[in-house]
Amino acid sequence: MKTLPIAIAAALAATQPAAAADPARLTETVKTLASDLFEGRAPGTAGEERTIGYLVARFQELGLEPGGPDGAWVQKVPLLHTRLGTPKMLAFDGPKGTMPVEQAKDVYVSTVRPDDVARIAGAPVVFVGHGVKAPERGWDDFKGADLKGKVAIFLVNDPDFAAKAGEPVSGKFGGRTMTYYGRWTYKFEEAARQGAVGALIVHETAGAGYGWNVVISGGGENYDIARKPGDLTSVALQGWLAGEAATRLFASAGLDLAKLMAAARSPAFRPVELKGVTFAADAPVAHEVVTSRNVLARLPGAKRPDEVVMLGAHWDAYGAGKPDAQGRIYRAGANDDALGIAGLFEIARAMKAGPAPARSVVFAAWTAEERGLLGSEYYAANPVFPVEKTVANLAIDILQTAGPAKDVVLVGKGQSTLEDDMARVAATQGRRVTPEGLPERGLFYRADHFSLAKRGVPVLLLMGIAGASDLEEGGVKAGQAWIDAYTGQCYHQACDAWSPDWNLAGAVQDIDLVGTIAGELANGTAWPQWKAGSEFKAIRDRSAAARR
Ligand SMILES: [Zn+2]
């Protein structure tokens, strides 16, 4: 076993004693948070109360200061929960008469608006291709088309996903790698920005990465942060259109969906109205707001306290469920993400042991990640520390527990200069960087760091299921076996529990790597940069003056 314990504190001052993350302390934190007392840490439950109390006590004991609004340890996060009831009406009307569609069979719709009824009355229907507006790639599927009051139909994924080699679009959107423009979240957001009342994505298994069964598994429920009436960023109804239903619908308007799919791979594509087709829906909505909390702790900077380096992990997990074979009911997310929280404590401990950093360091324990990155989204929409002067957000969300590795897995290759920092620090650990295994899954867009990335803050994510680690014992094969076992049996299940079989030496390497980068940033003057071609570069560039 050759691991080089990297001293996080050494990044702060060479004279400080080495203070690497300690597996015994990580274990103690994980065992506590994943114990039955915390009831699986679901937001809005008694488990949340205990979790918040525990997190605040730990940060206090570590000597940090409150980092929430108005000197509090917590930031309240109002979460909107909606559930669409059985629709009274759900149909397309076309030149050949009415085409009723069935929820969960032909379409799957839901809402994130806090209204008692989701209603669309005879709205015109427009096909918008992939619905991408990407100035940095010279791409705009909308071409100024007016979508106000209309229903937009999108293709899944981004314009080059299905392109064959040699097509002009090939590689413009990362090839098989998913860009933000390929995510369903982006399409719904873009539909709202365009003023549409509804958004439907044509489902196709390869492009979505999952089957129709996964699409409908939401049961018409949705979560969002509660937004102010002026900030509504959602359409009245959003969802999916089954591939077969889409083909029929387009044919009813005299259009060939397959041909339009090919046309949508050209930058010259323009939205196509389904002439004479309208969409109508009327469905009851049950909605409630539950208030949860982010915990925020701060280590104040000695020289430039207004510049903030952020580290984050999420405290929430899946709460109680049906008992598993061993009778366990709590899905306590020992790895996902109690281990990430434990990592934050270790980094905070090491930093506190050294001299005060030049910049402030903020530790965020987010709520409601599992409901759609909502704690971090709420923070990013209501930041306590201005995002313009937030240096970076470093996130830990699931680490491999199979032992030391010869590499570290990079999620979102080519995004920012933080990946260069990662490679350099990994090299001092005797490790190299391996890009994530399946970039088409778009994991870069699916953890809390992304909420900050959307607002332009450069980010780095450590995620143990993003790719097989090359383990000291057993190599890549053993690394893949760990991923298969974890994602196959434990991910989001009661099986995500602490186990005496865990070997945290690899997790320690990753936590030390994150802590070292955070320490360097906190003591330096560098502002990490998005790389050319990143979807988030333009947003950051707009606030460049604040960092001069
Ligand atoms: Zn997670």
Q: Where are the domains of the chain?
A: 8-63+300-543, 81-287
Q: Write out the H or E segment, with its range, that includes residue 511.
A: helix 505-523
Structure tokens at 329: 């009911």
311-350 tens-digit pLDDT? 999 999 999 988 999 999 999 999 999 999 999 999 999 9
Q: Indicate whether 308 pLDDT > 60.
A: yes
pLDDT of residue 10: 47
371 within 8 A of 218, measured Cβ to Cβ: no
- Compute CA 139 distance to the chain's CA centroid, rounded to the nearest angstrom: 24
83-113 tens-digit pLDDT? 999 999 999 999 889 999 999 999 999 999 9
* Cα dist from 455 to 4, 231, 307, 395, whole Å: 35, 15, 16, 16
107-148 tens-digit pLDDT? 999 999 999 999 999 999 999 999 999 998 999 999 999 999
More confident: 422 or 441: 422
Q: Indicate whether 1 pLDDT > 50.
A: no
Average pLDDT, the chain: 94
Q: Indicate whether 9 pLDDT > 50.
A: no
- Give the whole-angstrom CA distance, residue 418 versus residue 409: 13
196-213 tens-digit pLDDT? 999 999 999 999 888 999
Q: What is the mean pLDDT of residues 395-423?
A: 97
Q: In angstroms, what is the span from residue 484 Cα to ligand 1's centroid? A: 17
Q: In angstroms, what is the span from residue 231 Cα to ligand 1's centroid? A: 27
* Cα 370–Cα 298–Cα 20 angle in degrees, nearest 5: 80
Q: In angstroms, what is the span from residue 301 Cα to ligand 1's centroid? A: 29
Q: What is the mean pLDDT of residues 375-396?
A: 98
Question: CATH says 8-63+300-543 is which class?
Answer: alpha beta
Q: Indicate whether 18 pLDDT > 60.
A: no
Q: In angstroms, what is the span from residue 493 Cα to ligand 1's centroid? A: 12
Find tokens 């990335």 and name the residue. 453
- Give the whole-angstrom CA distance, residue 55 versus residue 61: 10
Q: In angstroms, what is the span from residue 534 Cα to ligand 1's centroid? A: 24
Judge whether 8-63+300-543 and 81-287 match in fold: no
Question: How much of the chain exceeds pLDDT 90, in percent?
Answer: 87
Q: In angstroms, what is the span from residue 120 Cα to ligand 1's centroid? A: 35
Q: In angstroms, what is the span from residue 202 Cα to ligand 1's centroid? A: 28
164 — pLDDT class (breaks 50, 70, 90): confident
Q: In angstroms, what is the span from residue 372 Cα to ligand 1's centroid? A: 10
Q: Indicate whether 528 pLDDT > 70.
A: yes
473 CB-contact burial (10 Å; exposed 0-12 / middle 13-18 / buried 19+): exposed
Q: In angstroms, what is the span from residue 63 Cα to ligand 1's centroid? A: 26
Q: In angstroms, what is the span from residue 297 Cα to ligand 1's centroid? A: 20
441-463 tens-digit pLDDT? 889 999 999 999 999 999 999 99
420 — pLDDT class (breaks 50, 70, 90): very high
Q: What is the mean pLDDT of residues 245-259?
A: 96
Q: In angstroms, what is the span from residue 336 Cα to ligand 1's centroid? A: 5
pLDDT of residue 4: 37
Q: Strand, helix or coil at 151? A: strand
8 — pLDDT class (breaks 50, 70, 90): low
- Give the whole-angstrom CA distance, residue 422 versus residue 516: 9
Single-letter amino acid code for the residue at 102: E
In DSSP terms, 365 is beta-bridged to: 295, 313
* Cα 27–Cα 28–Cα 32 angle in degrees, nearest 5: 115
- Give the whole-angstrom CA distance, residue 423 versus residue 24: 27
- Give the whole-angstrom CA distance, residue 413 versus residue 291: 36
Q: In angstroms, what is the span from residue 18 Cα to ligand 1's centroid? A: 29
Q: In angstroms, what is the span from residue 314 Cα to ligand 1's centroid? A: 7
pLDDT of residue 19: 60
Q: In angstroms, what is the span from residue 22 Cα to ligand 1's centroid? A: 21
pLDDT of residue 14: 40
For 471, which DSSP code? B
Structure tokens at 217: 């598994």
pTM (predicted TM-score): 0.90
351 within 8 A of 343, measured Cβ to Cβ: no
In DSSP terms, 503 is beta-bridged to: 402
Q: In angstroms, what is the span from residue 312 Cα to ligand 1's centroid? A: 11
Q: In angstroms, what is the span from residue 234 Cα to ligand 1's centroid? A: 25
pLDDT of residue 136: 87
Q: In angstroms, what is the span from residue 389 Cα to ligand 1's centroid? A: 26
Question: How much of the chain exceeds pLDDT 70, in percent?
Answer: 96
6 — pLDDT class (breaks 50, 70, 90): very low
Backbone angles phi, psi at 411, to 5 degrees: -100, 125
How many DSSP H helices and E strands does the chain contain? Answer: 15, 21
Span of 216-220, 279-283, 513-517 with lowest mean pLDDT: 216-220
439 — pLDDT class (breaks 50, 70, 90): confident
Q: In angstroms, what is the span from residue 313 Cα to ligand 1's centroid? A: 8
pLDDT of residue 218: 84
Which residues sit with Cβ closer than 5 angstroms to ligand 1, an ion? 336-337, 397
Q: In angstroms, what is the span from residue 408 Cα to ligand 1's centroid? A: 18
Question: CATH says 81-287 is which class?
Answer: alpha beta
- Give the whole-angstrom CA distance, residue 83 versus residue 208: 23
pLDDT of residue 159: 95
481 — pLDDT class (breaks 50, 70, 90): very high
249 within 8 A of 241, measured Cβ to Cβ: yes
Q: What is the mean pLDDT of residues 505-527?
A: 97
Q: In angstroms, what is the span from residue 466 Cα to ligand 1's centroid? A: 12
- Give the whole-angstrom CA distance, residue 375 versus residue 397: 14
pLDDT of residue 441: 84
53 — pLDDT class (breaks 50, 70, 90): very high
